[in-house]
């Protein structure tokens, strides 16, 4: 199951698409060039292709933001189902909210992602977040589990 979210900072001028794979807790983050559903769909496909996830995603849980309005495209492409949490209920997707808290330690609210490279984001995701030893994974990292 993939939980996805949309992190937006700096007066909605720059943002990232973030995904978490539920069983391994592997975290993915990619910069968005704009806030359109087409851009979110494009970056989602990029993550799925680059990580060989086609046909391996059991479901996607997201919020009801307009940036996810092309959810049918995501379903068809990833061969899965998209589910929506209730409006204003982020607690219905606690995994992504918790993982985003770790991401925000490095990129706090107010971060202008126009001034952050994808390489910097990748370093934090790959060397900090996905290297963290997790009790729920018997003290192995997300990277090892994935």
> Where do the domains of the chain lie?
2-92+103-111+130-145
Q: What is the per-residue burial (b if ≥16 Cβ within 10 Å, else e) of 80-90? A: bebeebeeeee
Least-confidence region, from 9-13, 42-46, 69-73:
9-13
Contact call for residues 41 and 63 (beta carbons, < 8 A): no
User: Which class is domain 2-92+103-111+130-145?
Assistant: alpha beta
Sheet holding 82-84, edge to edge: 27-32, 14-21, 2-9, 60-62, 82-84
Cα dihedral across residues 104, 109, 111, 114: positive or negative: positive
pTM equals 0.85
Name the pLDDT band for 7 (thresholds 50, 70, 90): low
């Amino acid at each position: 199951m993939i939980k996805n979210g949309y992190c937006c900072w700096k007066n909605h001028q720059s943002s990232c698409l973030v995904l978490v794979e539920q069983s391994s807790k592997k975290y993915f983050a990619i910069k968005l060039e704009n806030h359109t559903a087409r851009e979110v769909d494009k970056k989602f496909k990029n993550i799925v292709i680059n990580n060989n996830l086609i046909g391996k995603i059991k479901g996607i849980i997201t919020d009801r933001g307009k940036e996810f309005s092309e959810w049918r495209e995501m379903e068809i492409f990833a061969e899965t189902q998209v589910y929506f949490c209730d409006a204003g209920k982020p607690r219905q997707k606690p995994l992504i909210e918790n993982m985003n808290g770790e991401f925000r330690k490095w990129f706090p609210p107010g971060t202008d992602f126009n001034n952050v490279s994808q390489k910097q984001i990748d370093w934090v995701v790959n060397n900090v977040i996905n290297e963290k030893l997790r009790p729920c994974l018997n003290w192995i990292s997300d990277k090892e589990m994935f």
